[in-house]
Structure 1
Amino acid sequence: MSETGPAIVEPAVIDPVVRLEKLTRSFEQGGVTIDVLRGVDLVVHPGEIVALLGPSGSGKSTMLQAIGLLEGGFGGLIEIAGVDASKLGKDQRAAVRRDHIGFVYQFHHLLPDFNAIENVVLPQLITGKPRADCEARAKELLDALGLGERLEHRPSKLSGGEQQRVAVARALANRPRLVLADEPTGNLDEATADKVFAQFLELVRGEGSAALVATHNERLALAMDRVVRLHDGVL
């Protein structure tokens, strides 16, 4: 009788959340061509939190706009969750943003006429989820960020740190595979920034999302899984 060994199970191949190849972006200014991105290559894996370092004006925001599919004019490959964005139309790109990407900016951009929980509910309603489920999800996130007692407060009644935490909850509301954060604590004092950023990292890790965080703060960058630096338009 012949014997066979245990079956070999091949590991599942998981697509990167982000894959960039030779990403370029140029602008015309005063008859002069300015090359901001000159061939950026990057892979971000599921659950990985990556710091994007570079001085002001180095192109970090331009790079995040490209990955977030917020504008055209880019050359090279932008692949999000295994989908080649260059082959998508406007509506399809919007669907990728809605289904896979959350955004956190330096300024919170909360809707001033809506309270904290409503600001987190609204992006979920756009996807067609039942309102009760959206409210439960919003409360879960805001509670996790220490805002359980501030749900009914409008942005004008919240501190800067509280406003930014609502913005973090909004970014994660639809369980994105990728969070793009552009100087997410750059508008806060150092003590508040440290607290908000620690909560941001804890929540993103707990959700299992990947994140690409643009910053010029070396100290904050060290708290992330990996650091990449944008210099002269390349990583």
Structure 2
Amino acid sequence: MNDLGVKPVVELKALTRSFEQGGERIDVLRGVDLAIRPGEIVALLGPSGSGKSTLLQAVGLLEGGFGGEIVIAGHSAEKSNSRARTALRRDHLGFVYQFHHLLPDFDALENVVLPQLVAGTPRAEAEARAQELLVALGLGHRLDHRPSQLSGGEQQRVAVARGLANKPDLVLADEPTGNLDEATSDRVLAEFLSLVRGEGSAALIATHNERLAQKMDRVVRLHEGLLA
């Protein structure tokens, strides 16, 4: 774990989020404070419906409507325009979801190459990086296979490689192994954590699984809109 004096890669200050439903106001986040430092892997623990995905959407700058402050790599999201927020997302964040959301018409290598091309990486460099990540995840023999030709665990490994492709400062993962059986889930999570640590990235990983959460550096619990 990094020294406490190191500047956080992400900092949430009094983060709030409310929704209107059936004429009623529902407070999902009620003033969340959180700081994650470089290289730190944090488990976001809470039952389904507790607001974990909402919190990840906030950190990922994926939607508006939040109160409070979100600071990513020293930049305040609230003080950034739409273009600057897109750049923050592209340059500093990586995403891994419960369902892999791979592009079905592209093979494993291409799925990991594409986000790098969007970020402006030369193709040869992007392909080398994609191959390096996929080999590290045990998929060196599956580079030219499309998602439909891969098992669930293999698909999620490709999604992990894609999330790390642009060397993000922070990886956001929403139940990244929740769609897998327990044995496959354990293997994929172990590989994911090993790769994140090897890359030196930080990670915020949402899960409802206490056993998986204990494998991370720190656990924060979302309860009634606050972090315990």
Q: Confirm whether residue 222 of structure 1 aligns to residue 190 of structure 2.
A: no
Q: Which residue of 1 aligns with 2:186?
A: 194
Q: Confirm whether residue 59 of structure 1 aligns to residue 26 of structure 2.
A: no
1:174-200 deviations in whole A, cap 9, x for unaligned? 000000000000000000000000000
User: 2:134 pairs with 130, 134, 142, which one?
Assistant: 142
CA displacement at 1:127 relative to structure 2: 1.4
Specify whether residues 12 and 103 from structure 1 end up closer, same or farther in structure 2 by C-alpha distance, changes over 3 A only: closer
Task: Write the distance in 1 (CA, Å) between the matches of 2:35 and 2:42.
Answer: 10
Task: Write the distance in 1 (CA, Å) between the matches of 2:156 and 2:114.
Answer: 17
Residue 142 of structure 2 aligns with an amino acid whose one-letter code is: R
Q: Which residue of 2 aligns with 1:3?
A: none
Q: Which residue of 2 aligns with 1:231?
A: 223
Task: Write the distance in 2 (CA, Å) between the matches of 1:45 and 1:142.
Answer: 26
TM-score in terms of structure 2 length: 0.97
SS at match of 1:230: strand
SS at match of 2:197: helix
SS at match of 2:144: coil
Gaps of 5+ in 1: 1-10
1:192-219 deviations in whole A, cap 9, x for unaligned? 0000000000000000000000000001
Task: Write the distance in 1 (CA, Å) between the matches of 2:111 and 2:32.
Answer: 34
Structure 1 runs (4+) deviating above 6 angstroms are: none
Q: Which residue of 2 aligns with 1:28?
A: 20
CA displacement at 1:14 relative to structure 2: 3.4
How many residues align? The count is 225
Q: Which residue of 2 aligns with 1:180?
A: 172
Task: Write the distance in 2 (CA, Å) between the matches of 1:22 and 1:127.
Answer: 31
Q: Which runs of structure 2 are paired with 1:1-235 in the superposition (5 Å)?
A: 14-235=6-227
Residue 175 of structure 1 aligns with an amino acid whose one-letter code is: K
Task: Write the distance in 2 (CA, Å) between the matches of 1:13 and 1:220.
Answer: 28
1:11-36 deviations in whole A, cap 9, x for unaligned? 99632011011000000011110000
Task: Write the distance in 1 (CA, Å) between the matches of 2:4 and 2:69.
Answer: 24
Residue 69 of structure 1 aligns with an amino acid whose one-letter code is: L
Larger radius of gyration: 1
SS at match of 1:192: helix
TM-score in terms of structure 1 length: 0.94
Task: Write the distance in 2 (CA, Å) between the matches of 1:162 and 1:222.
Answer: 24
SS at match of 1:25: strand
Overall identity of the aligned pairs, in %: 76
Task: Write the distance in 2 (CA, Å) between the matches of 1:184 and 1:13.
Answer: 30
Does 111-120 or 13-22 show the bigger shift? 13-22
CA displacement at 1:37 relative to structure 2: 0.1
1:90-131 deviations in whole A, cap 9, x for unaligned? 111111110000000000000000000000000000111110
Task: Write the distance in 1 (CA, Å) between the matches of 2:4 and 2:61.
Answer: 28
